């Protein structure tokens, strides 16, 4: 079943020059395509929408500050089982627990600045794509 997912390459990925490497890993997956891509610095309003379920948690403010600290690359990726697949490709949030071969396992350094976001479900993907790419149907 074909799906769409939102992927964000976070400020640390952009600052460290890893955008091409990460997008290349996504593009090399057979059957996955990038249908939208944009480089931009996120404002607080967008981040509040995106991270609404985390309001009040101790990591919320540092996360919003980090995510607005520099440009991010937002993209929509489509393909078979792409939601599960991109999350597997990203690896666990903690780079120490992320396996070699995953983005976080190969390039991650700390948990908060973990290079990549990928939607965790079809419902999340639909909601997140509307935030970052409101013109996509």
The answer to whether 117 is a known catalytic residue is yes
Task: Say if residue 133 carries a ligand binding annotation.
Answer: no
CA neighbours closer than 13 Å in the CB half-sphere of residue 42 = 26
Q: How many C-beta atoms surround the C-beta of residue 56 within 10 A?
A: 7
Active-site residue (options: 9, 64, 117, 118): 117
Instruction: State the residue for tokens 């419902």.
Output: 123
Task: Say if residue 97 carries a ligand binding annotation.
Answer: no
Task: Say if residue 66 carries a ligand binding annotation.
Answer: no
Task: Say if residue 87 carries a ligand binding annotation.
Answer: yes
Task: Say if residue 109 carries a ligand binding annotation.
Answer: no
Q: How many C-beta atoms surround the C-beta of residue 36 within 10 A?
A: 16
Would you list which residues are annotated within the binding site for ATP? 10, 59, 87, 93, 104, 114
Would you list which residues are annotated within the binding site? 10, 59, 87, 93, 104, 114
Q: Known catalytic residues?
A: 117
């Amino acid at each position: 079943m074909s799906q769409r997912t939102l992927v964000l390459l976070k400020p640390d990925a952009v600052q460290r020059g890893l955008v091409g490497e990460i997008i290349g890993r996504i593009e090399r997956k057979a059957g996955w395509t990038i249908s939208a891509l944009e480089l931009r610095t996120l404002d607080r309003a967008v981040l509040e929408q995106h991270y609404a379920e985390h309001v009040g948690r101790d990591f919320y403010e540092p996360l919003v500050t980090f995510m607005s600290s520099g440009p991010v690359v937002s993209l929509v990726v489509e393909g078979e089982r792409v939601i599960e697949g991109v999350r597997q490709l990203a690896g666990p949030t903690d780079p120490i627990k992320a396996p070699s071969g995953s983005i976080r396992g190969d390039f991650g350094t700390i948990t908060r600045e973990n290079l990549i976001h990928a939607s965790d479900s079809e419902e999340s993907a639909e909601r997140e794509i509307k935030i970052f790419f409101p013109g996509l149907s």
